[in-house]
Structure 1
Amino acid sequence: MRKILSIFFILPLAYSCSVAQSPSKYANTITEESSKNHLTILASKEFAGRGTGQEGGQKTVKYVADQFQSYGLKPIVNGSYYQPVSLLQVAYKVQNFTLAGQNLVYGQDFYVQGDNTDATFSSDEIIFLGYGIQDEKYNELKNIDITGKVVLIINEGEPVDADGKSIISGSTSKSMWSTSRFKRIQELTKLNPKLILATSSQNEEMIKRMNNRGMMGRVGLDKGNVNQATRTSVPVVHIKTSLADQLLSKIGTSVNNFTSKTTSAAAQPPVIKSPVQASMGVKNDKLNDPNVIGYLEGTDLKDEVIVVSGHWDHDGILPDGTYFPGADDNGSGTVAVVELAKAFAQAKKEGKGPRRSILFIALAAEEKGLLGSQFYVENPIIPLTQTVACLNIDMIGRIDDKHLNGDHNYIHVIGVNKLSSDLKPIVEKANAETKMKLDYDYDHPEEPMRLYYRSDHYNFAKNGIPSLFFFSGLHPHYHTPEDTVDKIDFPMMIKREKLIFNTTWEIANRDKKPVVDMPLADAQGTGR
């Protein structure tokens, strides 16, 4: 009887050891060729920067789901790989805008500052208010009713006398009016015009900036409590000087002529006979960009779950066709999630699957504020009480500025000093084969960039789940169209993927889950 019992006690230990001793065979299924193939597709023009709410994002989630399916991972979101994330995009949309007989393009010819509900604006004339200044010494709007009118102002500079002194301040230097461009508009809106057209020498550059970021709007989780009340603020349309000159030519002047000659406010502002037609305003669009989730069931510890995550989204494509490939951010992390899924699935097929279950998650809308991971922890597919660790992968394909002229054989490991004292020895054991420098600098309590709080693992950590963040660091092409595949250091990316695989393998097969015995810290995190 004692001998039989001994055999029963030995069998689980033998099983555990046999599994734990065989990771390298499966780590080696992660190759430079397969990683490069995946990343070349995900960072291609066809995938157009993998933007939230954009076609490139839709292609990305299908691509990842197809890989999960091909590996035999289980679709556990009601039989699907997709967990739709309830998002709300609030953006200013222009359906059409016609001015000076031209159909203008939002983000190329003009930009709008406005908070009005979608509305139609129509007028046959434009009132030219000069600088739009209201001051005791120079008031261009005295006794003028502009309620419901379309007006045009030159939103810079100020009137000067023959000696070049400001009529308002008496100074030859810039007065408050030239440095407070937005004050003019704020005062002007109080008079309730229908629409304000504003021009300045800065508009050309501002239009470019708005085209780069501003037109995408704000995206947040849809909590169903957005105020849908009518918005009534006066929209301000910022136009180029060349377009303003076309309008002013109808009254025999130009921006340059007006600013160089005007010394007193007109008693009655001139009227420009030119039609204006526009339909535009703030729109709330519901988005459902999904988290892509593949499930690999464990064996004797299958009720305990590890999350391996990386966000699939990036900055997408702009109206002018500029797109952000995001090869490193975070094409590299998305590829790593896919490659780890392949390796673990192969191990399972050969009877060497992990003891604990693993959820491979390509997360949505990280760039909008860690929204995909926030949605998941608020709506977990498997209870968070069963989730024992999160390994998050965000940018592992480059050599950062810190290491550019030094040792390239490194990886930043962030989070080893939070929540669990087991994490650091686990990573260091997993590194025995890859032999990389484990850079812990970003874990320093006074580290100014606070990167631990700026990627998706943080939402798991806030829920008491021991979490690691693998990262190769920042570089000059971060969030630019130059984050391309040709700049990826694939040999190092593969080594990093293998380290993360070995770390996951160790957590998945050790007898005890990582202990929670350290504080998270009191700092609050934010998205990037």
Structure 2
Amino acid sequence: MKRVVISLLAMSVSTALMAAPPKFDGARISADVKELSSDAYEGRSPATAGEEKTIAFLSKQFAAAGMQPGGDLKDGKRLWTQAVPLLKGDIVGKPQLTLTSQGAPQALSQGQEIAVRAAMNGQSQVDIRNAPLVFLGYGVKAPERNWDDFKGVDLKGKIAVVLINDPDFETGAGDFDGKGMTYYGRWTYKYEEGARQGAAGVLIVHETAPASYGWATVAGSNTNTMFDVVRDDPAAAHPALEGWIQRDLAVAMFKRAGLDFEALKKQAQSRDFQPVELKGETFSAHYAVKNEVITSHNVAARLEGSTHPDETIIYSAHWDHIGVGEPDARGDRIFNGAMDNASGTAALVELARGFATQPRPQRSLLFLAVTAEEKGLLGSEYYASHPLYPLAKTVAVINMDGMSPYSPSRDFGIYGSAKMDLLDQLKDVAKAWDIRYTPDTKPEAGLFFRSDHFPFAKRGVPALSYSAGQDWIDGGVAAGKAASDDYTAKRYHQQGDEWQADWTFAGAARDLEVVYTLGEQLANSRQWPNWSPEEAFRATRDASADQRK
């Protein structure tokens, strides 16, 4: 106890003596966002000319800020990049997708009633003919929760039809953390479990509320080039067919099979749920897939610590977006990704500029712009599994995925509701700006599992994704919520996510002062923040405690 009291006292004295943070420039952030999200970057998809432009721009900006290359070693010298090998998959031509009901075929249009992904199971052809459809509730197999939606059903040659999110979503109570989404609710899990259960394919029923985004987002995200980490056995993680279907199509399918969609959805909220075959309904899919292993890159800029250079604080943001896809109603094919995540990437560069103007910190800082977040957090997953600097001596990860181009807010949040020392310290730091913490207002969206801090968190590193609040100084909660809802409906993973001339990034500039201060405190202390004892990540972190002093 004495040691804890002394540590807290030292931290208090350190905070009191801390110099004011540098001022960050909203106009400069806006200019960088405008550049990164311009049509010239073609939506910043990995392994494209857009990636080459992005890497060149970021490397130049980090060098101008006074950072050093922090990436892979080549001939004894660090590069600006970390090579990330990825499996790339593209559907060749137009996929032939057919739903047959009582012998009557119905052609389905890619991106309209259905959105199928390029197969990532290692095969060059998807050829499914009249496969039976089986409704499997939420598609969850969780022994620790005494939950099994599969009940031993043989799925060989069959298509699993599953709901998005957790069984608790509708009621907010039950075995899956109430409204807070668990990993069992994520679409990635649905496909993974379908593969483990031997299904020929998995079709997820889209509903806007439990998915937390509309069909336009689903279509935009799933009908373009797909990527995955390079796996020894890709079929173990991916069924041949992965896709989403519109709710209206699902309701019609169920009705033709003599079933009530809403009634079965309610049954699926219970562990007693039994799989149900959609009798008379079959699904066929035929399309070729071009697969190739490509190399994308994380960009890594480093500021070496003065006294403890082997200890690292990571600031991260993903540089990639969706790239070029099918045209929208305006004929626009480029998914520019201004907010998502040119804003976070530009903020990362601006943060490096700010640190460069201050005395060198005791610990090292790594400014990490990761690739392929939009394809399943692949760049951060690769770094976390192939770290440039040891995870055991990585103090914390502070991720930025979307920074506010609007008014500063009176509050802030993080993605998800994990409990950790890092969040407690961030709350204390934010008080200096009279900013309060607001818990995740949409825990059902599962944002904790959807951002680049997660691959670090699951390996024990204290990690969070910073989020601006919705209680704006100019306009209050009403203005903040209206902007958030508008973005989700009209721009998120859509061609409309474009730079706006009226963006001041005043909110981002102020928020960078906060995240700067958190990192500066960690970089000039002997603190090793940890997870709260009830968090599953705590045990993983504690297992490497002997490597930290």
Q: What are the residue-to-residue correspondences of 1:87-126 with 2, within 5 Å?
A: 87-94=86-93, 111-113=94-96
Identify the residue that residue 385 of structure 2 maps to in structure 1.
378
Q: What amino acid maps onto 2:522 in structure 1?
A: I
Residue among 449, 452, 460 paired with 2:448? 452
The one-character-per-residue Cα deviations of 1:415-460 (angstroms, maximum 9, x if unpaired) are 6743x33x23421332244332332235xxx921222222110111
Alpha carbons of 1:58 and 1:17: their partners in 2 closer, same or farther (altered >3 Å)?
A: same
Cα separation, partners in 2 of 1:215 and 1:383, compared to 1, 3 Å: same
1:134–1:37 Cα change, 3 Å: closer
Counterpart of 2:323 in structure 1 is 316
TM-fit CA distance, 1:214: 5.0
> In the TM superposition, what is the alpha-carbon distance from 1:57 to its structure 2 partner?
2.4
Indicate the residue corresponding to 2:270 in structure 1.
none
CA contact (8 A) 1:49 1:323 kept: yes
**1:21 maps to what in 2?**
18
Q: 1:294 to 1:215 in 2, by over 3 A?
A: same
Relative distance call for 1:209 and 1:426 in structure 2 (3 A) is closer
User: How far apart are residue 211 of structure 1 and its match?
Assistant: 8.3
Output aligned runs, 1:276-355, within 5 Å.
281-318=288-325, 320=327, 322-347=333-358, 352-355=359-362
Give SS of 1:89's match: strand
Q: Distance in 1 between matches of 2:221 and 2:383?
A: 27
- Given that 1:390 and 1:457 are in contact with CA atoms closer than 8 Å, whether structure 2 keeps it comes out as yes
Q: Kindly provide the amino acid, as one letter, of the partner of residue 461 in structure 2.
A: I
Identify the residue that residue 177 of structure 1 maps to in structure 2: none
Change (3 A) 1:430 1:186: same
Q: Where does 1:465-484 land on structure 2 (aligned, <5 Å)?
A: 465-472=461-468, 474-476=484-486, 477-484=491-498
Partner Cα distance (1:381, 1:333) in 2: 22
C-alpha distance 365-20 of structure 1, shift in aligned 2 (>3 A): farther
Identity, % of aligned pairs?
28
Corresponding residue of 1:436: 435
Q: For residue 516 of structure 2, what is the aligned residue in structure 1?
A: 501
What CA distance in whole angstroms lies between the structure 2 residues aligned with 1:449 and 1:32?
Answer: 29
**Residue 31 of structure 1: aligned partner:** 25
Secondary structure in structure 1 of the residue aligned to 2:33: helix
Q: Does 1:186 align with 2:130?
A: yes
Question: 2:333 is aligned with what amino acid?
Answer: T
Residue 216 of structure 1 is matched in structure 2 by 224
Q: Which amino acid aligns with 2:52?
A: Q
Aligned residue identity for 1:409: R
**What stretches of structure 2 of length at least 5 have no aligned partner?**
1-9, 109-127, 132-156, 158-215, 242-286, 470-483, 539-549
* Partner Cα distance (1:215, 1:514) in 2: 41
CA distance in 2, matches of 1:390, 1:360: 10
Given that 2:414 and 2:439 are in contact with CA atoms closer than 8 Å, whether structure 1 keeps it comes out as yes
Higher mean C-alpha deviation, range 80-89 or range 425-434 = 425-434
Q: Match for 1:65: what amino acid?
A: S
Secondary structure at the aligned position of 2:339 is classed as helix
Distance 2:339 2:403 in 1: 7
Paired residues of 1:42 and 1:327 also in contact (CA < 8 A):
yes
The one-letter code matched in structure 2 to 1:88 is L
Q: Distance in 2 between matches of 1:465 and 1:43?
A: 31
Distance 1:503 1:309 in 2: 14
Aligned to 2:458: 462
Q: Is the 8 A contact 2:531 2:537 kept in 1?
A: no
- Alignment RMSD (CA, Å): 3.9
TM-score after normalising by structure 1: 0.59
The CA deviation at 1:75 is: 1.5
Secondary structure at 1:520's aligned position in 2? coil
Question: Which letter maps to 1:58?
Answer: E
Whether the 8 Å CA contact 1:90–1:218 is kept in 2: the answer is yes
Structure 1 stretch displaced more, 292-301 or 486-495:
486-495
Q: Spell out, residue by residue over 1:230-277, the C-alpha distance to the aligned partner (whole angstroms, 9 max, x if none).
A: xx99xxxxxxxxxxxxxxxxxxxxxxxxxxxxxxxxxxxxxxxxxxxx
Name the structure 1 match of 2:395: 388
Deviation at 1:319, TM superposition (A): 5.3
Match of 2:80?
A: 81
Instruction: Give 1:19 deviation, angstroms.
Output: 11
* Structure 2: distance between partners of 1:500 and 1:337: 11
Specify the SS of the correspondent of 1:426: helix
Following TM superposition, by how much is the alpha carbon of 1:23 offset from its aligned partner in structure 2, in angstroms?
3.8
Q: Which has the larger radius of gyration?
A: 1
Contact kept, 8 Å, 1:35 with 1:335, in 2: the verdict is yes
Residues 220 and 493 in structure 2, CA contact (< 8 A), matched pair in contact too:
no
Q: How many correspondences in the alignment?
A: 352
Deviations 1:290-318 (A, max 9, x none): 11001111122222111100111111122
Q: Aligned partner of 1:457: which letter?
A: H
Name the residue aligned to 2:252.
none
Aligned residue for 2:374, secondary structure, equals coil
Shift of 1:18: 10
Q: Displacement of 1:377 after TM fit?
A: 0.8
Provide Cα deviations, 1:143-181, integer angstroms capped at 9, x if missing partner.
xxxxxxxxxx8859xxxxxxxxxxxxxxxxxxxxxxxxx
Letter matched to residue 113 of structure 1: Q
More strand by share: 2
1:113-166 deviations in whole A, cap 9, x for unaligned? Answer: 38xxxxxxxxxxxxxxxx99996xx9xxxxxxxxxxxxxx8859xxxxxxxxxx
1: CA distance between counterparts of 2:427 and 2:222? 44
What is the one-letter code of the residue matched to 1:447? P
Post-superposition CA distance 1:159-210 (Å, at most 9, x none) = xxxxxxxxxxxxxxxxxxxxxxxxx9628xx9xxxxxxxxxxxxxxxxx999
Do the aligned partners of 1:434 and 1:498 also contact (CA within 8 Å) in 2? no
TM-score where L is the length of structure 2: 0.57
Give the secondary structure class of the aligned counterpart of 1:441: coil
Q: 1:222 to 1:19 in 2, by over 3 A?
A: farther
Equivalent residue for 1:148?
none
The residue correspondences of 1:344-423 to structure 2 (distance < 5 A) are 344-347=355-358, 352-397=359-404, 408-414=409-415, 417-418=418-419, 420-421=420-421, 423=422
In structure 2, how many angstroms separate the alpha carbons of the residues matched to 1:19 and 1:433? 11
Instruction: Please point out which of 499, 502, 514 is paired with 1:485.
Output: 499
AA matched with 1:463 = R
CA distance in 1, matches of 2:20, 2:365: 15
- Superposed displacement of residue 282, structure 1: 1.6
Alignment of 1:63 with 2:57, yes or no, is yes
User: What are the ranges of 5 or more consecutive residues in structure 1 without an aligned counterpart?
Assistant: 1-12, 95-110, 115-130, 139-152, 157-183, 191-207, 234-279, 524-528
